[in-house]
Structure 1
C-alpha cells in the first residue's frame, strides 16, 4: 500500500476520485489551489483508492496524507 501525500499546502478545489475507484499512475486524484494557481495531484502508484476523506473546500498541508492506494 502506498500513501499519496500533498505536494504543497493548499485548498482542495476538485476531487476526481472516490474510495473504491481504480487509478493508474499519473491519473488526477485531486486539484489543489495555492497562491491563485491550480495544481493537479497525480497518482504515483496504480491501484484502488482507500481512506480518501477530503472534499472540495478542505485545506491541507504539505506532506498530509491524501489517501492510500492499494
Structure 2
C-alpha cells in the first residue's frame, strides 16, 4: 500500500481528494501551512485514495501519513 506523507511540519489548510478518487503523480492532494507559507503536498505515486488520515486544521509532523492509496 502506498502513502502520501507530510513534506514538512505544519497545519492542514485544505484537502483536495477524498476516498475513491484516482490520483496521478504530481497531483496536489493537500495544502499545508507552515510559517505563514502555503505548501502543496503532491502525490509521489499514482493510485486510488483509500483513506484520508487527517482533517483540516490538524497539526502534522514531517513524515506523518496524510493519505493511504491502494
Asked if Structure 1 and Structure 2 have the same fold, meaning a TM-score greater than 0.5 normalized by the shorter chain, the answer is yes
**Residue 5 of structure 1 corresponds to which residue in structure 2?**
5
Shift of 1:50: 1.4
- List gaps (5 residues or longer) in structure 1: none
Spell out the pairing of 1:1-70 with structure 2 (5 A cutoff): 1-70=1-70
Secondary structure at the counterpart of residue 26 of structure 1: coil
Judge conservation of contact 2:11–2:32 (CA < 8 Å) in 1.
Answer: yes
Report the TM-score when normalising by structure 1: 0.92
Shift of 1:68: 1.4
Report the TM-score when normalising by structure 2: 0.92
- Runs (4 or more) in structure 1 with deviation over 2 Å come to none
